[in-house]
Structure 1
Amino acid sequence: MAVKYETELYPPLKAFFEQRGYAVKSEVRHCDLLGYRDGEARPLIVEMKKTFTLELLLQGADRQRTGGLVYLAVERNRTKKGAHNQRFGDLALLCSRLGIGLLTVTFYKTKAPFVEVLCEAGESKSGKTGTRAKRLKAEFDARSGDHNIGGSSKRKLVTAYRENALKVARQLWMFGEASPLMLKEASGVGKAALLLRDNHYGWFERVSRGRYKLTEAGSAALNEYASVISAWPELPEKA
């Protein structure tokens, strides 16, 4: 059973690594899947494609620069016998030599997908866990949950920045008008003033010196991302 979209690979891969003890989130700083286990600073990174390509291999090699455990994941389509992307023995040997793990996901019509490990990820040869790794962990920790789907393209991603902007927008909707300091204290977003000033999404409008209100686009965003906001602590009803 061939998958139509790359995003179909994400749910079984997420479940597989959660069973291995990882907390998993998707689309974090361009990583399709990012995970951490309690007490471990080293990230788990999985890059996905419907079929094995040179681009996927190069992505995996680039992700190794974080010092993390890196896996590549593709569909194992049982109907594509003899296709170049089905030479999994050779591909597993190549990945193993590079220290990159290789996973396949087989889909069925009447039972759950099956994830198979063809080779495990090895220790990164880069030996570096510097700025890139720290940025990954900071973004992972700043997100309230897994609000994206791994392998997404041309979709608005729910990043930590967008979540902070939503927190400020929600609080501004409650107040009607407010100052940056009021919004910082009420929302818990330390950079509320910067978010208001930059107004990256067009959600905020300065009505006077030190006073802001929500735009129509901001109100629409609160509805668009209602599922994200529902995961946060509730606010008292608007007066």
Structure 2
Amino acid sequence: LADIIARLLELLLSRLQPKIDEMLTALNISPSETTEVEVAYRWNSPGGGTGYHPSIGFWCGQWKFQHESGYEPRSFNDTEVLKDHLRGTKKASPWISMTHIPGHMLEILKTVWGENVWDQRHKVYIIDFKKLKLLNPETTLSKDLATEITADGLKGISDHHWLAQQWIPACCIVGSLTIENFRRVLAKNNIIYKPNRERILGQDWVNSEVLSIKTWKTYLAQQPK
């Protein structure tokens, strides 16, 4: 059933793509409507809380686990849902996390890259953020959402942690890399994970440099199919 749904969505998106591209072109030539963020990153692993299919994209844990015994749907308007996600309790969450800072993605990956660096199932996905914002305008910074619910002190609040509601369409995903290849691309662009011994306890080390969507598209186009 998942493959049938994926195929139908693929056909639908292929027909919508010309219109999407026209809208993106208009977006790019209108300074008042552009967003500074071009690229977002998401790490996906086997058995994670978010679903993924190449023809569908990412779908939230709320969709993924809705058929499990004892599952209870939770509303976006329930502030505890967002607080749980920001605490790291993300199973059955309606949100999907991303970051636009590649250095922060390295901070996340450092906990898993030991034995998984070449594991093809562990990948970093490159997301065209402008396209995502057009198709899912509710994609919002955790910092902005947190101000609405008085969630100060939760570890997931920052100015580089983005939350998409429910779905990241496949047409927004530029490509994916293994953890090791992701590290190599960043190293070539002088973005290297270097823990700071003097950092405040519990604070992420984040190299704030970013890479353009053009850089990633060029790299991915050069890779063997």
Query: What is the TM-score of this pair, normalised by structure 2?
Result: 0.26
- Name the larger-Rg structure: 1
